[in-house]
Amino acid sequence: MRVLRTGTAAGCLAAGLATAFSPAPAAQAPPDKRASIAASSTTAVRQWDALTQSMLRSGELRIRQVRDDTLIAGHVNDRADQYYRGVRVFGGDVSRQMDAQGVVLSLFGNFYSGIDIGVDPKLSADEAQVRAGELAGLARGPDAPDPELMVLPLDGGGYKLAWRVRAVTDKVDIVQFFLDASNGDVLLQYSDREAQTTVGRATGVLGDNKKISVSGSSGSFSLVDRLRPPVIETNDMKGDPVRTFNYLSGAVRLNSSDLAADDDNNWTDGAVDDAHVYAGYTYDYYFKRFGRRGLNNNDIRIRNLANPVRRTQADLLRYFDQFPDFFVNAFYAGGGDVVYGVGLPPGFTLSGQSWNHLSGALDVVAHELTHGVTEFTSNLIYRNESGALNEAFSDIMGTSVEFFFQPTGSGDLKADYLCAEDVVKPGGLRSMENPQAFGDPDHYSRRFTGTADNGGVHINSGIANHAFYLAIEGGTNRTSGLAVQGIGGGNREQMEKVFYRAFTSMLPTNATFSQARAATIQAARDLYGSNSNAERAVTEAWTAVGVQ
């Protein structure tokens, strides 16, 4: 198969035309050729339109549709289908965009050449109907649409004369069958049922009930959110750590059977539910707060993987040593993929704490997705100070998302300055208000300088976390004794924007704490002016945590 990209050199175009439409001996060229057209330059449009006109005159192209351009007054768009000896070629068509004078401005399409097959079917249309009914498991009704005889370009090359029959199956699917017009064999079939977007109910890890945006229709729903600009999908790995690992390592691809599914749109697996819902919330937060469109600011797909193992004692004993992150961690795997560990089975603890599904905490989900934002912005190197800043930014944004969606307070589903406290109990994993409560430094002088934890990325994050906390809430740093006048919780949006701007637009990949201080101060000046409360608060905060 040959794909031609036009709109550049005329020489290339000419070669493409000759290749696509000049008769060629079978020994010298593959039996099928597809010319993929995307012509927008004057030269390319002129040449392709000349060919189009020629094909229209010869009947190889037939106009299917002419429509006024609803976006540009006076312009007209038309579409023409390719025919071979009077039989339509599946997938062969061209669309032209014309101005008010009928001048073609651009032209897109696919033409097939090298077709050399008979067009007299041995199988009749009625026989094709019957055959489709057998395949669908339902007899075809008298008003079923007539089969259409088509030339089908085969994926493996070549062409076949086929009956195209659209049939409803006994599984309430709508399937396009392409039946070999000589013997009724299925040459191609695919579901033609367009996914419907709908809203269902979900129960989260903590038993809370909420809305969930899904795709599907009666009897078959899947966790694909199409209401938001990016596709957000959540896969239920069904306790298969090997498949999860193989996907992450690139050995296998996920498919539709991996998507979390439900029959009645009443979702009860909290692990997949929360991963899906909270990923949506996180996208909403970034959009509403910063106008950001997802992780890469271009609505890259978000793909959640939940239940990489089963939350059972058997799986814990069997897989924990090999896949500890599938239990007591959640991680951003790059490219929009996030994996959520299942925690520990009831009755098991780690360092005296119980672990529920990690996706059950909004701040955890937002934390992981923020790693994606970092990946596509400052791309802070995940070691030493830059790594600690990377972690801190995820904690800061995770906490900010909590405050955006949840009421302030303590306990489940409340916004506070603890990290993962809803699923790791008691207390969570880190505190931004008092990092020392978890053994993390609250002052630069106490920073971890060893090599463990990539140079203390989850430890030294406490310094920046605490600076963020002090800049909002104010207070006195326990180590330096320096007091900070925060901007107040009612103005937290200002500090969120200051840190977002600094961490996504200013910091270099190998940033230091000192650079983070300078960048956030500059961001505060940029956003709220010199000597603003935001600038004063963030300056005092960094000074209080010992960062100059």
Partner 1 sequence: MPAVARPATEQIWFTVNVGIQATNNSFDDAFDLTLYTEPEHVTVNYPARSGLLIAGSGAYRVWRQLFVGGGVTRDNASAHAQVTAQLPHPFFDNTYRNVEGTAPTMRSEVGAHLLIGWMLRPSRTVRVMLTAGPSYITTKQPIVTEVTFTETYPYDTAQFTGVKTNENWRGALGFNGGVDVFWMFGKNVGAGGMVQFTHARIEAPANAGRSVSFDAGGGQGAAGLRFFF
Q: 284 or 526, CB closer to partner 1?
A: 284
Stretch that binds partner 1, among 46-54, 76-84, 208-216, 241-249 (CB under 8 A): 208-216
Q: 173 or 264, CB closer to partner 1?
A: 264
Stretch that binds partner 1, among 76-84, 194-202, 317-325, 495-503 (CB under 8 A): 194-202
Sheet architecture: strand order including 261-262:
261-262, 220-222, 209-217, 197-203, 266-267
Judged by CB under 8 A, how many residues of this single chain contact partner 1? Answer: 14
Q: 67 or 288, CB closer to partner 1?
A: 288
Q: Please, which residues have CB within 8 angstroms of residue 367's CB and are 6 or more apart in sequence?
A: 330, 394, 395, 397, 398, 419
Q: Which of 74, 157, 207, 229 binds partner 1 (CB under 8 A)?
A: 229
207 binds partner 1 (CB under 8 A): no
Q: How far is the CB of 25 from partner 1 (least distance, A)?
A: 54
Distances, alpha carbon 505 to alpha carbons 301, 369, 401, 427, 466, in Å: 22, 17, 20, 33, 21
Q: 112 or 281, CB closer to partner 1?
A: 281
User: Is residue 248 within 8 Å of residue 339, measured between CB atoms?
Assistant: yes
How many Cβ atoms sit within 10 Å of the Cβ of residue 65? 11
Pick the catalytic residue from 276, 371, 458, 466.
458
Burial class (CB in 10 A: 0-12, 13-18, 19+), 379: middle
Tokens at 374, concatenated? 């970092």
Tokens at 93, concatenated? 């068509």
Residue with tokens 């089975």: 345
In terms of phi and psi (left: phi > 0; alpha: psi -120 to 50; beta: otherwise), the region of 187 is alpha
2 binds partner 1 (CB under 8 A): no
Q: How far is the CB of 280 from partner 1 (least distance, A)?
A: 6
3 binds partner 1 (CB under 8 A): no
Q: Give the torsion sign (CA, 113, 114, 119, 122).
A: negative
End-to-end Cα spacing for the chain: 61
Q: Quick one: which of 190, 191, 187 has its CA closest to 179?
A: 187
Q: How far is the CB of 229 from partner 1 (least distance, A)?
A: 6
Q: How far is the CB of 198 from partner 1 (least distance, A)?
A: 9
368: annotated active-site residue: yes
Residues 257-286 vs partner 1: string with x where CB under 8 A?
-----------------------xx--x--
Stretch that binds partner 1, among 102-110, 195-203, 424-432, 470-478 (CB under 8 A): 195-203
Stretch that binds partner 1, among 222-230, 385-393, 469-477, 521-529 (CB under 8 A): 222-230
Residue type, 345: P
Q: How far is the CB of 162 from partner 1 (least distance, A)?
A: 40
200 binds partner 1 (CB under 8 A): yes
Provide the strand spans (E) within 54-204: 61-68, 76-84, 87-98, 104-113, 148-153, 159-168, 174-180, 186-191, 197-203
Q: How far is the CB of 366 from partner 1 (least distance, A)?
A: 15
Q: How far is the CB of 265 from partner 1 (least distance, A)?
A: 9
Tokens at 303, concatenated? 């793909």
75: annotated active-site residue: no
216 binds partner 1 (CB under 8 A): no
Q: Which of 5, 67, 171, 211 binds partner 1 (CB under 8 A)?
A: 211
Q: How far is the CB of 276 from partner 1 (least distance, A)?
A: 11
Residues 288-327 vs partner 1: string with x where CB under 8 A?
x---------------------------------------
Q: Which of 79, 193, 210, 301 binds partner 1 (CB under 8 A)?
A: 210
201 binds partner 1 (CB under 8 A): yes
Pick the catalytic residue from 60, 368, 375, 540.
368
Q: How far is the CB of 228 from partner 1 (least distance, A)?
A: 6
Furthest CA-CA distance within the chain: 91
Stretch that binds partner 1, among 62-70, 117-125, 130-138, 224-232 (CB under 8 A): 224-232
Q: Which of 228, 371, 443, 447 binds partner 1 (CB under 8 A)?
A: 228
Q: 78 or 493, CB closer to partner 1?
A: 493
Q: Provide the 3-class DSSP secondary structure of residue 336.
A: coil
User: Is residue 373 within 8 Å of residue 288, measured between CB atoms?
Assistant: no
213 binds partner 1 (CB under 8 A): yes
Q: 210 or 383, CB closer to partner 1?
A: 210
Q: Quick one: which of 366, 362, 254 has its CA closest to 308?
A: 254
Within 92-157, residue ranges assigned H as helices are 125-136
Q: 359 or 479, CB closer to partner 1?
A: 359
The rounded distance, in Å, linking the Cα atoms of 493 and 484 is 18
Strand partners of residue 304: 234, 338
What dihedral angle (degrees, nearest 10) is formed by the CA atoms of 160, 161, 165, 171? -30
- Residues with catalytic roles: 368, 458
Contacts to partner 1 by CB under 8 A: 199-201, 210-211, 213, 227-229, 280-281, 284, 287-288
